[in-house]
Amino acid sequence: MIFRPFSLFVIAVFLAAAPLQAAKKKSEAAAYKGAIVVEASTGKVLLEDNADVISPPASVTKLMTFLVVHDKLKAGTIQLDTPVTVTAQEANIGGTQVYLKEKEVFPVEELLYAMMIQSANDAATALARVAGGSREAFVQLMNARAKELGMTHTTFRSPHGLPPSNRSISESDLTSPRDLATLCRELLQNTDVLKYSSVQQRDFGASRKQGPVQMINHNHLLGKIAGVDGLKTGFTNGAGFCLAATAQRNGRRIIAIAMGSPDRVTRDLHVGELIERGFAALPPAPPSPVASSPVSPIAPTNVTSAPARPQETPIAPSAAPANNPPPTVTFPGAKKK
């Protein structure tokens, strides 16, 4: 067979590109186990990459805890100023906390701030007890709510996301990026979650004898990526680094989820880029305001993967929509939280 020079050139380019494509795929696989970006108002999938992978969400679990507590607040079963007396079990839950002490008393609202800003496991456990009657009853409410929303790949086993004592993945809280996107849509459309998740810094327990705990939000995209105002981070050894983020620009909001990143810096860089690509992928805005569509499970689309993403470089300004150049993103060294 005789090849023309042009054909030989094309073949050579293809063969040279094959290792590069393989390297890109490897880089994407290392960035996270699964990810998805959706438009908040419609649920339209803008990007997805292994979005149905089932994995522990770590402290992102607390988003469902927030939703169930909000349901109880809406029903009038509890109030924001309802006093919560801390038990010994809650004071000794471990992990990230605001160091609640047995018999201390705090209102529900302060514990909500502690759970969403500090990712406090002790606060989440105390809220679950007061809202559900017991931790076990509250977890049942979490799973019932997940079923109601159509989160078919989700099973909750705790209100905080800590792994079980045996560290078994199969016995941990489990969900998928797609299911978390569904949960985030419900929170954004029907709760005041942004009141809590957008706060970058706040003191907890100003009247305590030992002084307050200075809470700093674990979501490092706040103040660094334009429009980001929530929602929740998570990390355990079994889950890796997870983030359910949301951002609003020019009246339009997207949700970006990544689960199972190897470290915090990688997670934050890639979620930041997913946000930029998500806004770039939004369809043209409708000519007149339209009502948000009812929250329903996020359906798979024919989009099989997100575009290639550089492993450790800031988001390129050209990826942002016009009139919305993102700030240069620089993150401190990885720190597990």
pLDDT tens, the chain, 337 aa long: 444 443 333 333 333 334 434 444 445 558 999 999 999 999 999 999 999 999 999 999 999 999 999 999 999 999 999 999 999 999 999 999 999 999 999 999 999 999 999 999 999 999 999 999 999 999 999 999 999 999 999 999 999 999 998 889 999 999 999 999 999 999 999 999 999 999 999 999 998 988 999 999 999 999 999 999 999 999 999 999 999 999 999 999 999 999 999 999 999 999 999 999 999 999 887 766 556 677 878 877 654 444 444 333 333 333 333 344 433 343 334 333 4
Are 70 and 175 spatial neighbours (Cβ–Cβ below 8 Å)? no
Residues 120 and 113: their CA atoms lie apart, in Å, by 9
Active-site pick, 33, 41, 55, 59? 59
26 part of the active site: no
- What single-letter amino acid sits at 199? V
Beta bridge partners of 202: 215
Residues 158 and 139: their CA atoms lie apart, in Å, by 6
Domains of the chain, with CATH numbers?
A: 32-319 (3.40.710.10)
Are 142 and 115 spatial neighbours (Cβ–Cβ below 8 Å)? no
Per-residue burial over 312-326, b if 16 or more Cβ lie within 10 Å, else e, is eeebeeebbbeeeeb
The single-letter DSSP state of residue 70 is: H
Rounded to 10°, the helix 177-190/62-75 angle is: 30
59 part of the active site: yes
Angle at 297 between CA 292 and CA 299, to 5 degrees: 100
Per-residue burial over 45-82, b if 16 or more Cβ lie within 10 Å, else e, is bbbbbbbebbbbbbbbbbbbbbbbbbebbeeeeeeeeb
55 part of the active site: no
Active-site pick, 41, 55, 62, 172? 62
Active-site pick, 41, 55, 119, 172? 119
Distance of CA 33 to the CA centre of its chain: 14
